[in-house]
């Protein structure tokens, strides 16, 4: 819903981090233009990104997101 941090593919990393901060969660979902989930980015991903040769000032979320995550349906038990 609206409380879940989410950004579109191609969003600058810095804007993605601001979305995470605004929504108060340590993650953001990355969505395709049709609303389909294509990745996730977490605080842990940020730490791993800082250890890579990537210029985080100019990186997009696509360069650092985790793809192929697992999803669950609302009726599934945790």
Q: Can you give the CATH number for the domain in which 53 is found? A: 3.10.580.10
Under 8 Å CB-to-CB from 23, ≥6 apart: which residues? 3, 4, 5
Range of the domain at 21: 6-64
Number of H helices, E strands in the chain: 3, 3
The verdict on residue 77 lying in a domain is: no
Number of domains comprising the chain: 1
Please report the pLDDT score of residue 65 as a whole number.
95
Asked if the structure places residue 17 within a domain, the reply is: yes
- Quick check: is 71 in a domain? no
Q: Does residue 18 fall inside a structural domain?
A: yes
Q: For residue 64, what pLDDT is reported?
A: 96
In a domain, 76, yes or no: no
Distance from chain centroid for Cα 4: 11
Pairing of strands 6-8, 37-42: unpaired
Q: What is the pLDDT along the chain (78 residues), one digit of tens a residue?
A: 788 999 999 999 999 999 999 999 999 999 999 999 999 999 999 999 999 999 999 999 999 999 977 778 889 987
Q: What are phi and psi of 65, to 5 degrees?
A: -75, 160
């Amino acid at each position: 819903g609206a409380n879940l941090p989410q950004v579109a593919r191609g969003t600058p990393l810095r804007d993605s981090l601001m979305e995470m901060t605004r929504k108060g969660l340590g993650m953001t979902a990355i969505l395709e233009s049709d609303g389909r989930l294509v990745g996730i980015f977490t605080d842990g991903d940020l730490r791993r990104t800082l250890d890579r040769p990537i210029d985080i000032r100019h990186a997009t979320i696509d360069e650092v997101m985790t793809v192929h995550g697992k999803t669950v349906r609302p009726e599934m038990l945790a």
